[in-house]
C-alpha cells in the first residue's frame, strides 16, 4: 500500500463507547470520514473467532471485541462506473460489470466490488455472493447468487463446466486470415486450456479485428494469453500485450457477452445475452 495507508487496532473495554468517536480520535479523522469508511468496508469487528466487516455506526459492542481499521485514502477514494442489472431471477441476478469493478474486496475496502454494488442497489435487498469471476479489467456479464442453494448449484455448474461462456475482444491484427474458427489449446500455467476464436469484423485502417471467443476452460487470463500467443494481443492489454497494445491508453477491450447456465431453480438451461449497447465497438 502507499505511505498514506494506516492500520488501527482497538480493543473495546467499555461496550458503551461509540465506535465512530473511538476511531475518529485514534485515527485523527472527522467523524463523517469514519462513517464513510464504515460504508466502504475498511473497518472490521473481531469477536471471538469471528471477524467480519463492521458497517453500522451503532453496532452493539462487547468488552473484549477488537476493532480493526485499514485506512488508505487512495483506495477509499477509488470510483468505478455503476454495474447494470440485466436480469433479476430472484435467487440470482445477472449484471453488466464495467471495466475496473472488482469481484473480490480486500481488508482495505469492498466498495468497488460487484457483490457490494449488488447488495446496496438491488431491490428488494438481498445478500450477494460471487459464483464466478471476471478480471478487474474485463467487462461484461456476471452472475450473482442471492441464496445459499443458488450459490451451491451455480458454483457446482461452473466447476463442472456445465456452463457456456462467450466473449468478444478487439485485437491488433487481422484474425480473419487465420482458420475460422481457430482453436488455441496452449497450456496456461501448466494446465490445459482451450479457446475457440472467430473473426466478426476487421478494420483495415486501424488494423484491428473484432473477434468472438468461446472458452472450454477458465484459466486465469486465458483469453489474453491465448490471443497474445498467436500475435494478436487484445487492445489495452498492458500485461500480456505487445508494446503497441500497452501504449494505446485504452481500457482492456475484452467483454463477456453470453452466458448459458443450468438455472438453480428450474434446472433448465437459461441463456443471457449482453445488450448491444454494452458490447465493444470496433
List 135, 189, 207, 251, catalytic entry: 135
C-alpha 87, offset from chain centre: 18
Grid coordinates standing for 36? 464513510
Cα 214 to Cα 194: distance, rounded to the nearest angstrom: 9
Cα 66 to Cα 52: distance, rounded to the nearest angstrom: 11
Annotation marks residue 135 as catalytic: yes
Catalytic residues: 135
Amino acid at each position: 500500500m502507499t505511505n498514506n495507508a494506516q492500520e488501527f487496532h482497538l480493543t473495546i473495554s467499555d461496550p458503551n463507547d461509540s465506535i465512530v468517536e473511538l476511531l475518529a480520535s485514534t485515527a485523527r479523522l472527522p467523524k463523517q470520514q469514519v462513517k464513510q469508511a464504515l460504508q466502504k468496508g475498511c473497518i472490521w469487528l473481531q469477536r471471538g473467532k469471528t471477524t467480519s466487516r463492521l458497517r453500522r455506526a451503532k453496532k452493539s459492542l462487547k468488552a473484549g471485541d477488537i476493532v480493526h481499521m485499514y485506512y488508505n485514502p487512495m483506495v477509499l477514494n477509488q470510483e468505478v462506473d455503476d454495474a447494470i442489472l440485466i436480469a433479476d431471477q430472484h435467487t440470482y441476478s445477472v449484471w453488466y460489470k464495467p471495466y475496473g469493478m472488482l469481484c473480490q474486496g480486500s481488508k482495505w475496502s469492498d466498495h468497488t466490488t460487484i457483490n457490494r454494488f449488488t447488495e446496496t442497489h438491488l431491490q428488494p435487498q438481498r445478500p450477494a455472493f460471487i459464483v464466478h469471476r471476471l478480471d478487474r479489467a474485463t467487462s461484461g456479464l456476471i452472475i450473482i447468487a442471492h441464496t445459499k442453494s443458488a450459490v451451491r448449484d451455480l458454483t457446482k455448474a461452473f466447476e463442472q463446466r456445465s456452463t457456456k461462456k462467450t466473449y468478444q475482444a478487439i485485437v491488433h491484427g487481422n484474425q480473419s486470415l487465420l482458420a475460422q474458427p481457430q482453436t488455441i489449446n496452449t497450456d496456461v500455467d501448466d494446465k490445459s486450456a482451450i479457446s475457440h476464436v472467430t473473426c466478426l469484423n476487421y478494420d483495415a485502417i486501424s488494423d484491428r479485428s473484432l473477434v468472438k471467443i468461446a472458452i472450454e476452460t477458465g484459466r486465469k487470463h486465458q483469453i489474453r494469453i491465448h490471443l497474445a500467443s498467436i500475435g494478436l494481443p487484445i487492445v489495452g492489454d498492458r500485461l500480456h500485450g505487445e508494446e503497441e497494445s500497452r501504449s494505446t491508453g485504452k481500457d482492456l477491450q475484452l467483454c463477456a457477452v453470453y452466458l448459458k447456465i443450468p438455472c438453480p431453480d428450474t434446472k433448465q438451461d437459461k441463456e443471457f445475452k449482453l445488450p448491444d449497447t454494452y458490447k465493444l465497438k470496433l
